[in-house]
Amino acid sequence: MLDQSYYRKADEIIEHYGRKASSLIPIMQDIQGEYRYLPGELLTYVAGEIGIKEAKAFSVATFYENFSFEAKGKYIIKVCDGTACHVKKSAPILEALHKTLGLSKKKHTTDDMMFTVETVSCLGACGLAPTVMVNEDVYPRMTPESVVALVEKLRGEGK
């Protein structure tokens, strides 16, 4: 069960965009912006409030990679695995991250809710390959060593 405050927040966001089907995506974006993920219960709630079927809302939410039903860490690390980054050896970077954070292809977020590691297809910064993004910041020309160092630095800041 979600806390009542989640529903109040959702109400606020729904009010802002209007109770109509076309508000779905902006509402979901704002909810995810607020909580760093899209709680499933809220998606059901929003669907009911704006008058669309739950299955439809789920359909839209799962269509876009960006929406996540799982709570994400404070730092979302996106490892680019587009063509340029891939040939510049992004795979060992991902491996190093998984190893140092105890994550895997199935487990994306650390238990302390500090880090989430994802791969993305292209960050559009091929000249800087291999590239990693942490939240809104881009880190160019990474190596397995530098990415581990980055994680250590963030861990220090995050505490």
Partner 1 sequence: MGTMIIDGRKVEFTDEKNVLSVIRKAGIDIPTLCYHSEVSTFGACRLCTVEDDRGHTFASCSEEPRDGMVVYTNTGRIKRHRKLILELLLAAHCRDCTTCVKSGECNLQMLAHRLGVTQVRFENTREIREIDDSSPAIIRDPNKCILCGDCIRACEELQGVGVLGFAYRGTDAMAMPAFDKRIAETDCVNCGQCRVFCPTGAISIHTNMDEVWDALADPELRVVAQVAPAVRVAVGDAFGLDKGRSVMGKIVNVLHRMGFDEVYDTTFSADLTVMEESAEFVNRVQAGIKLPLLTSCCPSWVKFVTDHYPEFKENLSTCRSPQGMMSAVIKEYYRDPKHAAGKKTVVVSIMPCTAKKMEAKRPNSFTKGEQDTDIVITTTELIRMIKNSGIDFAELDPEASDVPFGFGSGGGVIFGVTGGVTEAVLRRLIPEHDKRALDEIAECGVRGDDAIKEFSFDYQGTKLNICVVSGLVNAKNIMEKVKRGEANYHLIEVMACRRGCIMGGGQPPRAGVRTKAARSKGIYSADNVSIIKKPDENPMVMALYEGLLKGKTHELLHNQEY
Instruction: Tell me which of 8, 16, 19, 56 binds partner 1, using CB under 8 A.
Output: 56
Q: How far is the CB of 99 from partner 1 (least distance, A)?
A: 27
Q: How far is the CB of 129 from partner 1 (least distance, A)?
A: 25
62 binds partner 1 (CB under 8 A): yes
Residues in Cβ contact with 138 at an 8 Å cutoff, skipping those fewer than 6 apart:
123, 125, 128, 131, 132
Per-residue contact flags (x/-) with partner 1 for residues 25 to 44, judged by CB under 8 A? ---------------x--xx
How much is the CA Rg of the chain, to the nearest whole Å? 18
Q: Which residues on adjacent β-strands are paired with residue 117?
A: 77
102 by Cβ neighbours in 10 Å (0-12 / 13-18 / 19+) ranks as exposed
Based on CB atoms, which residue is closest to partner 1, 46 or 93?
46
Based on CB atoms, which residue is closest to partner 1, 65 or 136?
65
Based on CB atoms, which residue is closest to partner 1, 44 or 135?
44
Instruction: Tell me which of 4, 63, 106, 136 binds partner 1, using CB under 8 A.
Output: 63
Element (H or E) spanning 156, and its range?
helix 144-158
Residues in Cβ contact with 15 at an 8 Å cutoff, skipping those fewer than 6 apart:
none
C-alpha span between 63 and 90 (Å, rounded):
26
Contacts with partner 1, residue ranges (CB under 8 A): 40, 43-44, 53-59, 62-63
